[in-house]
Amino acid sequence: MSRKLRGEAKETGAGVPAADRAWGGRFAGGPAEIMQRINVSIDFDKRLYAQDIAGSLAHCAMLVRRKILTAEDGEAIARGLAHIRGEIEAGSFPFRAEHEDIHLNIEARLGELIGPAAGRLHTARSRNDQVATDFRLWVRDAIDRLERQIQGLQAALIAQAERHAGTIMPGFTHLQVAQPVTFGHHLLAYVEMLGRDRSRLADCRVRLNESPLGAAALAGTSFPIDRDMTAKALGFDRPAANSLDAVSDRDFALEFLAAAAIAGTHLSRFAEEVVIWTSEPYRFIRLSDAFTTGSSIMPQKRNPDAAELVRAKSGRLLGALAALLTVMKGLPLAYGKDMQEDKAPVFDAADTLELALAATAGMVGDLAPDAEAMHRVAASGFSTATDLADWLVRVLGLPFREAHRVAGALVARAEALGVGLAQLPLEEMQRLEPRITAAICDVLTVEKSVASRTSFGGTAPANVTAAAAAARRRFLQ
């Protein structure tokens, strides 16, 4: 056999004879046209090319080491695979639907380049363990990309939190003004959510990092292979322990999609707040032209379309998880062709989450808070009523439930008079609780309220500054 690549590809038409197909020895005729269409996956699984070539190179090296393959064949295969990788990356690789998937496309092209030695690469291997290996490698790479992106978003949030550790804004429950907090404190809440997202992805990466390669179709192989060698070559921690599980497990994909869906939900919650904060009744923040669009009919409009699209993308992530759960829920061991449907939702989810993370990081860096508008709303809605109740407990010794009742009555009186709690006359307060003194006024401003929240995890500006620094150490170093 020549040690050189054989040059130009042999053209193969769509009507490949059944006997020439990878699985064709059992079949006298070719598939129906509709069977060809439903069976082909090359349009989406060609994204696995780098992982497929890496797995084949590791398998080839192991076969040579174990003397299952000659060194000459191994060198020819390695050169051919390197050539194919170059073709794919240059955009000149002849992808063909008649070869069904990325695995057979690469194998067929390898045969065109180096001849019969290409057929020896598949010794002691099945497409079942091959695709399971490729898919794990791809998801592992996707997790690494996403982890870096999430960290970048955390960095943008922490930077804004540091700048606005003392910028007062309303805290909400039920979307009603509840208690004043700081903008920095609010943003750091998302830093914590994203930290958990990174942790979930990291956990998923640990569990997926077992190699299916060598499990073959489902039962292992009679060839004297070294699964530890191929696992190590591909960066896996160990080979998967059970050959049936190795080829049929898609827990790693489901876990990835679950982590992606939760992360997308966090991004959607933040996006919803951006939509609210940029609306006319609030105007808490402003986004530049870079992350807004206009209206085709209303020239005054500035629409937060980036946030709205991030909010919508969470639906695709949730749908991807539901789709793969549905595919997997009724499958007996081991492999079923149903599993061909595992990759499209995972690919789409990874793309969707990467785009949403990039857009969110861009918005976080771009947004400019309006401190005056935030302060105005923070001071409305009797947001310091809890501070009043706490004062009654702390200074007058009232049981909290009694203090809560008195504070509620004072809110009702202030509302009736059309004033805030800080403007309610002392004599009005004393009619409800005679022991109240003028000292109560010290806790009724939003500044005093925020500054008093010094418990661990609280919103006091000094706390927020310290928390932002701690978040830098935890998440960015």
**Catalytic positions:** 174, 295
359: enclosing H helix or E strand? helix 343-366
Rounded CA separation 157/160 (Å): 5
Type of residue found at 41:
S
- Tell me the one-letter amino acid at 159: A
10 Å Cβ neighbour count for 117?
22
- Give which of 44, 27, 32, 21 is closest to 343, Cα–Cα: 44
d(CA 190, CA 273): 12
Closest by alpha carbon to 427, among 439, 437, 416?
Answer: 437
Please, which residues have CB within 8 angstroms of residue 412's CB and are 6 or more apart in sequence?
Answer: none
DSSP per residue, 374-442 = HHHHHTSTTTTHHHHHHHHHHHH---HHHHHHHHHHHHHHHHHHT--GGGS-HHHHHHH-TT--GGGGG
How far apart, in whole angstroms, are the C-alpha atoms of residue 296 and residue 275?
A: 19
For 447, phi then psi, to 5°, come to -60, -45
What is the rounded distance in angstroms from the CA atom of residue 475 to the CA atom of residue 477? 6
Q: What is the CA radius of gyration of the chain?
A: 31
- Sign of torsion over alpha carbons 122, 126, 130, 133: negative
Residue with tokens 């206009």: 294
Contact present, 204 and 259 (Cβ < 8 Å): yes
CA–CA–CA angle 102, 136, 134 (5° rounding): 20
Residues 69, 74, 80, 83, Cα dihedral to 10°: 150
Contact 47, 138 (CB under 8 A): yes
